[in-house]
Chain A
Amino acid sequence: MKQQSLFATAVCQVSRRRLLLGGLAFGSMGLLAPRGLTNTPKASDVTDFLILSEFLTGRKTLSVTLARRYYLGLQDQFPDLAVRIANLSREIHASGVQTMDDYLSHGPSPEARNTATTIVSAWYLGVIGQNPKKQMIAYSDALMFQAVAGALVVPSYGAGPLAWGNRPEPYMMLKGVSDEQ
């Protein structure tokens, strides 16, 4: 039996979350049908963006509030965002992969990879777009800091008075990071 893709599982999980959030309608990846420019995306657009973002970043608990802000910011800078997201979502769906790593080895199309990088960049750096239109969305919640959390602080959010000196150990244990000594 074909294993259910994690992406599909995530859709189900988020549909539960929607119910918890107050009975939001379950969109069928509603982004497949792009609309014109708007600054007030449907809640389902944001939720679909959140599902996609969680898949792309390998995170399970991204913030809905930040998702909305990233989505709006990206929409502002990339008028064809909805189409790009729809294409990327369709491609992931079609591939049947369970994880982002599997999707990457599966070989995304250049356009899909480009869209994925745009979205992941936003979440990791907390910043959208290029100079001079760079827009700040999140600082301490930027995902890049999670990779080193436990070892390094987010600058300006220190660990406390003279609270350093032990060998740094990041919380996120990853295979392949050299660990001699």
Chain B
Amino acid sequence: MSSETLHADVVIVGSGVCGALIGAQLAKAGKSVLILEAGPRVKRRDIVETYRDAPVKLSLANMKLQGAGSPFPSLPHAPSTYGDYLEQNGPVKYNTSYLRVVGGTTWHFGSALWRLLPSEFKLNSLYGRGRDWPIGYDDLEKYYDLAELELGVSGTDDQDESGAGGNPSPPRTAPYPMKQVPLTYMFKTLAEKLSAGGYHPVWEPHGRATRPYNQRPVCAGNNNCNPICPIGAKYDGSMHCDIAESRGATIIPNAVVYRLEDDDTGRIQALWFKRPDGSEHKVTAKVFVVAAHTIETPKLLLMSKTRHSPNGIANSSDMVGRNLMDTTGISVTMKTRDPMWPGQGPTELLVFNKREGDFRRNAAQYKIKVRNTTPVSQYAATLLEQGVLGTELDRKIQELSAHTLAWAVDFEVLPDPANRVTLSTKKFDALGLPVPSLYYNLDDYWHAGTELAMQDLNNFTQLLDADIIKKNMKFENRQHPSGTTIMGDNPKDSVVNRDCRAHDHPNLYIAGTSVMSASTCMNPTLTAAALSLRIAERIQGEV
């Protein structure tokens, strides 16, 4: 063990958007900040080069390729989830893909940055399902504002984001920091045709710059948001890592935190991390923040079994790792009579939301999105496998590219304590740390939601003069994990309180989507960012 002990006012585990935001805010406030990241630093140009040189291109357009590779590194001490790192035990595979690099998973996120609606904080009191959050929309509104400024969100003002076509919602005190991107031909055409059938198009707020924003150039329609924006027009957590470091914070990459230690008063005293060479290092601090992702955060807490916390840190409730949620979805592929040409501009924008209504007593809310990822390589490969040659090959590539629509639906998943992250007893990484073991299943509420969404998609075929040519009802993971350190007022059934502070430890905060009390059907990053800015404010008053 190393004799040298590092110390900081605040030590943060994880350099993704949440950890980096907190680190940047506290460094700006003059606090000494240390951020520990399990994975290495990466450079955008290297990832872009690796992507272009890869024989198999990872793309959200083809979920089957999710396991095939990623341009981001997979190292023995921080294995990539694109391999077989995660152990699956449940009836439904929870094959989420997160990145263990400086800057975290937002490197490859689509960059949807939604606020939740006021009603989404009160699922239980409004509809008798799931849990209420202990806080409401009003508690978060000013942090949503701030998060949108920090992350640089482009959006459409004055639309009803619930999807009901009513008054603007949720209520906002400030407009979006940047205007929306131009609509593509496909988006305009779909919005027009589906509006005729009573559907209300909603334009997604997202993290692509539409004017020069801080260090970011304007989105150039590279259609490569996942796995990497080649020009850094799209927000990612590395940008706040840069801010944090420029303001004096220290980031240590390749530092895998494996243990937190508490004392008999419940205060966290220290944490320990391992280097790739196996050496062990101790860090002390006044305040500890774990922002290590919804799967890795509970893994760390569960690994930290101490004399005072025999079930693991922050786990007197036995809720650490439980209530694993996602916005698990389905997908439908349609062939349209008219050309639509998905693939222009950035990879997503148009959605049809069904977020509010009494149906939520019986069925999951959902968001229907149309993928705008250039599908050319996928179709060309398929056609060649079928032996199509000659002019017919070019003709078919054009036809399939122009006329095929890939719809995907994301659903709310209720918190179920049986869905959980535990520690594998069989499989360990190169440092000897157990890999996350996942159990996941979906209930009738989720299935009822899929039936409603299929009715809408069938209506779409009428309105678009299209046929469904493929359906996948088999639980597509949407990479929107939440719930594993769930927030609540009752320390007996939740891990953190309304301030994201561990019930069991006064100087331990947990940042990330893992604190969310409800998954909703929406992308969770902006909510986690807003909560992180609120955490930073709390900590600033304490150290």
Contacts and interface: CB of A to CB of B under 8 A. Distances in A.
Contacts of B338: 178, 180-181
A4 interface: no
Given A125-B380, A145-B376, A168-B344, A178 B339 contact: yes
Contacts of B52: 139-140, 156
Interface stretch (B90-98, B353-361, B386-394): B386-394
B374 A152 contact: yes
A160 interface: yes
Given A117-B387, A152-B376, A168 B185 contact: yes
Given A131-B56, A166-B185, A125 B377 contact: yes
Given A134-B55, A156-B48, A56 B220 contact: no
A104 B403 contact: no
B390 A157 contact: no
Interface residues of A, number: 55
Contact of A139 (B53, B181, B217, B391): B53
A13 to B, nearest CB: 20
Interface in B184-209: 184-185, 188
A36 interface: no
Interface in A130-152: 131, 134-136, 139-140, 142, 144-148, 151-152
A116 B228 CA distance: 35
A164 interface: yes
A135 B220 contact: no
A162 B376 contact: no
A161 interface: yes
Contacts of A99: 390
10 contacts: A103-B390, A124-B384, A131-B56, A153-B343, A159-B220, A162-B219, A162-B220, A164-B344, A164-B345, A167-B185
Interface of B: 48, 51-57, 59, 181-185, 188, 210, 217-224, 228, 230-231, 337-339, 341, 343-345, 373-374, 376-377, 380-381, 384, 387, 389-395, 397-399, 401-403
6 tightest A-B CB contacts, nearest first = A158-B222, A144-B380, A158-B220, A134-B55, A147-B397, A161-B218
Interface of A: 56, 58, 99-101, 103-104, 113, 116-117, 120-121, 124-125, 127, 131, 134-136, 139-140, 142, 144-148, 151-168, 170, 172, 174-181
